[in-house]
Structure 1
């Protein structure tokens, strides 16, 4: 019987196959570049944002409202998402336009007004990034790697070029880039979902199965790893007194070279389906960059921009990895995608800025603070490494633990599997062979069929709803997939299982499915 593998073979490289990924890449590039040039001064400094991070902190707090909303709403509707994108685009673009007009007049912009406008740019552009990550739900790990690292490299290249321009150019470019989002959105709707030609398989993300993406402890471990490495990044970007470090042409070019080089390497891994690299080596690369930055800080403390180039490169690579991690949880987690997007971005943003503030506090207490800061940076990097390599990447899966213990699958277990809440939906038709707990019995049996026939995670979701009696239209609505996508998944399920109707699936479950308890 066919078995699911950790690595999926990528389709042959052709424009026709990979063009479905282009809108997501372009959308992420547009949103990231807007933040880079407007809020982060085109990376001419290492500051997480202007005004000591004030605008980004306010944006993070406002983004917290979206996070709280995800705790109360099971899944946002397509209409809400459409309005969300429209509003975010206009907010970012109009704030950029206002900054451009005020800057062109040559007058000093009031502090409060500048903070409000830059907060609007940060918030609108960040929400647009959330939208594009949401669009990648159900996309394979290999395709996700290609998207996030292409977006990272292109965004950094555009930022580097624009860094030699004036503020008026930055703000004008930010407005144009924001409104260009409409073109990318239209293109994505024409080309369809990236998960259609590149369906997700949970094992290719971190070598684990779907159960763990619905496990709160696994989510907490992933978040803890990001937290622990974000703090030393902030400390390095604010070395040694907590202020942003000016980046001349040479360190800026170093950042570009490092980021593009690393991105090309991981794009190559994605095309070659070498997914183990993204789960292990990427953390090693980030830690090496931080370590090299600390070495340059210690050896050449008067030329801190060189050391800062290494730390800033690590921070940018972490951005791409956070996107990748978010796509994994969006694809298999049990909450709305905005939950994972907002939680990851808020945590990283706040903690990077907090790391810079740690430097400021240490400077007040210990004037000659270079050894102290480097030691604290090293401690947090060590903790991050221990958390990631011992918990996030190496711990056994819950399903394996259940199988080893031969424990029965309970209704609570079933409700925690990443089927997008399908078991909470009342079946439209009562399956004739089910007498007791039909939802639990069918879901358990479908999971077994997934293993037996090599179904992808998305196919298991679709098959569960379909076996529960839902029409293809209802499956499309609940999983937020297009009707054509649902039809394609059902066709693939038929091909893999050699079953050709809902009744044949139910008959198979009745004869070979998990016994009712």
Structure 2
């Protein structure tokens, strides 16, 4: 009965931690879609052929470059960026609503500036929520990002029907509602504490791959290729009047397809807790984009259906990009804003590039769809092939995962042995491809305990965070030291240790050490 009560409290804690992130990310994505380039997916026409989207990419680049230069953005800077972003997004939307209400004959650059301001603020708010999700269990990250995209898609669809004034007022309300969601997030535990992650479950690969530049480049290149194909598809759905908006029927197909696929992926993530979703998601993206390409090639009445499927792919890709940003932010070497900015630019920048390229090809060969269709197919094939060959085939894949807290401890211990004083400024690299010598030295006590705890965690079903806590606890750290190493409160550490005792039926540190000595390895 006590265990059931504990599980129920954990579930309640997890829901409380995830709810603000889900709501905040959904509002940020909806705000961006309603005012900037993605609005055309709900029947809205982007102004200046995606120029406002490119401005948001420049804003993302500036924040990402600052985070890269500073190594890690301080909390005060993050608070300031978020505070400014809320006001910029809201004021930009309010300015657009004023132009709609007064029907003022404003200069085009004024409208562009307001769109870009609102979109940039919304993008930075999305970055904030992706940062909040770092080190959260991969299945629950999938639940949040795909759930947020599904909710944002429905909001954009219905508000798009209501007209520009209503959607700009809604964007204003969504932006300032972020004060409530950020306040709620500060009152609950961080999602990564309530639902700690294991790095293997993000991509099914070893933790050191998250700092591999080639691995990151492959992920971004795959996103760029699929976004490029989506941008090209948008040019084939232009109406006679030249509007980038979809017909009502195609908008319904887009909303239903993207929403249903997002919910199915989120449900699948919860059902398959021990498997990476990357392969499943990319298979779905490739099949949907391929089907959309075929329908666009058929022309006639199939054009808008094919365009709707390709638009749905872009929405699902948006959710997957959020997932990738959280994965790399959780275990990569850079600040979370660096990964979020890079993912944003790869998706939206290349989508605009694809639209521009499609327009140029259409101008060079009027009425001939074949060149654009061929390029779409090539981009889709190249993106999916790259992901499967580079991201999913990891020759260094291994079950010998050492928790991040142990990496920090081992580095401090090694530096103390070499230089006489601790140095925790870097994380040691783990060699996974080097040949194993014939007579390998005996593992250090720290490595032996770490690997033994991993095996123990698998036997007793310990979570990733519990494995990290148990490793440091078995190494002799006090609860206060464990709290410091893992950046958790002492109450949270105490709760994790109590759950470990309950799951393993052990009752002291010495009993844990005796178990590791007898059954570890």
In the superposition, the TM-score normalised over structure 2's length comes to: 0.81
In the alignment, which residue of structure 1 is the partner of 2:318? 319
Equivalent residue runs for 1:58-97 within 5 Å: 58-97=55-94
| 1:334 Cα deviation after fit | 2.1
Look up the SS of the partner of 1:139 in the other structure. coil
Match of 1:179 among 166, 176, 180: 176
| Partner Cα separation in structure 2 for residue 477 and residue 319 of structure 1 | 35
| 1:348 Cα deviation after fit | 1.2
In the alignment, which residue of structure 2 is the partner of 1:232? 229
Is residue 454 of structure 2 the alignment partner of residue 451 of structure 1? yes
Query: In the superposition, relative to structure 1, how do residues 326 and 462 fare at CA in structure 2: closer, same or farther (>3 Å)?
Result: farther
| Cα contact 2:57–2:345 (8 A) shared by 1 | yes
Query: In the superposition, relative to structure 1, how do residues 223 and 486 fare at CA in structure 2: closer, same or farther (>3 Å)?
Result: farther
What is the Cα-based RMSD across aligned positions, in Å? 3.9
| Partner Cα separation in structure 2 for residue 446 and residue 344 of structure 1 | 37
In the alignment, which residue of structure 2 is the partner of 1:43? 41
| Cα contact 1:46–1:238 (8 A) shared by 2 | no
Query: In the superposition, relative to structure 1, how do residues 312 and 443 fare at CA in structure 2: closer, same or farther (>3 Å)?
Result: farther
Look up the SS of the partner of 2:161 in the other structure. coil
| 1:13 Cα deviation after fit | 11
| Cα contact 2:454–2:467 (8 A) shared by 1 | no
Equivalent residue runs for 1:405-420 within 5 Å: none
In the alignment, which residue of structure 2 is the partner of 1:102? 99
In the alignment, which residue of structure 1 is the partner of 2:267? 268
| Partner Cα separation in structure 2 for residue 16 and residue 102 of structure 1 | 44
| 1:240 Cα deviation after fit | 6.8
Look up the SS of the partner of 1:86 in the other structure. helix
Is residue 157 of structure 2 the alignment partner of residue 154 of structure 1? no
CA offsets per residue over residues 98-123 of structure 1, 9 Å max, x none? 22122211112321111111111111
Query: In the superposition, relative to structure 1, how do residues 489 and 42 fare at CA in structure 2: closer, same or farther (>3 Å)?
Result: farther
Is residue 187 of structure 2 the alignment partner of residue 190 of structure 1? yes
| Partner Cα separation in structure 2 for residue 487 and residue 76 of structure 1 | 29
Look up the SS of the partner of 2:112 in the other structure. helix
| 1:80 Cα deviation after fit | 2.1
In the alignment, which residue of structure 1 is the partner of 2:246? 247
In the alignment, which residue of structure 2 is the partner of 1:331? 330
| Partner Cα separation in structure 2 for residue 304 and residue 214 of structure 1 | 42
In the alignment, which residue of structure 2 is the partner of 1:408? none
| Partner Cα separation in structure 1 for residue 35 and residue 122 of structure 2 | 11
| Cα contact 2:410–2:446 (8 A) shared by 1 | no
| 1:77 Cα deviation after fit | 2.3
Look up the SS of the partner of 2:366 in the other structure. coil
| 1:388 Cα deviation after fit | 1.2
Equivalent residue runs for 1:442-481 within 5 Å: 444=447, 447-454=450-457, 458=465, 481=488
| 1:453 Cα deviation after fit | 3.0
| Partner Cα separation in structure 1 for residue 246 and residue 31 of structure 2 | 19
| Partner Cα separation in structure 2 for residue 377 and residue 52 of structure 1 | 19
| Partner Cα separation in structure 2 for residue 64 and residue 86 of structure 1 | 19
| 1:253 Cα deviation after fit | 0.6
In the alignment, which residue of structure 1 is the partner of 2:207? 210
| Partner Cα separation in structure 1 for residue 481 and residue 70 of structure 2 | 19
Query: In the superposition, relative to structure 1, how do residues 65 and 467 fare at CA in structure 2: closer, same or farther (>3 Å)?
Result: farther
Look up the SS of the partner of 2:200 in the other structure. helix
| Partner Cα separation in structure 1 for residue 396 and residue 503 of structure 2 | 25
More contact order relative to length (CA 8 Å, sep ≥ 6): 1
Look up the SS of the partner of 2:53 in the other structure. helix
| 1:465 Cα deviation after fit | 7.5
| 1:296 Cα deviation after fit | 2.0
| 1:372 Cα deviation after fit | 1.1
| Partner Cα separation in structure 2 for residue 495 and residue 73 of structure 1 | 43
Is residue 279 of structure 2 the alignment partner of residue 280 of structure 1? yes
Query: In the superposition, relative to structure 1, how do residues 507 and 247 fare at CA in structure 2: closer, same or farther (>3 Å)?
Result: same
CA offsets per residue over residues 27-65 of structure 1, 9 Å max, x none? 011101111112244634476x43111011111112111
Once structures 1 and 2 are overlaid, which stretch shifts more, 66-75 or 176-185?
66-75
| Cα contact 1:246–1:305 (8 A) shared by 2 | no
| Partner Cα separation in structure 1 for residue 88 and residue 518 of structure 2 | 57
Look up the SS of the partner of 2:191 in the other structure. coil
Is residue 360 of structure 2 the alignment partner of residue 357 of structure 1? no
Give structure 2 stretches of 5+ with no counterpart: 1-6, 429-443
| Partner Cα separation in structure 1 for residue 138 and residue 479 of structure 2 | 26
In the superposition, the TM-score normalised over structure 1's length comes to: 0.82
In the alignment, which residue of structure 2 is the partner of 1:113? 110
Query: In the superposition, relative to structure 1, how do residues 330 and 145 fare at CA in structure 2: closer, same or farther (>3 Å)?
Result: same
In the alignment, which residue of structure 1 is the partner of 2:347? 348
Query: In the superposition, relative to structure 1, how do residues 373 and 21 fare at CA in structure 2: closer, same or farther (>3 Å)?
Result: same
CA offsets per residue over residues 267-291 of structure 1, 9 Å max, x none? 2212212564722222122122212
CA offsets per residue over residues 337-377 of structure 1, 9 Å max, x none? 11111111111111111111111221232224311111111
The number of aligned residues is 488
Give structure 1 stretches of 5+ with no counterpart: 1-9, 404-412
Is residue 173 of structure 2 the alignment partner of residue 170 of structure 1? no
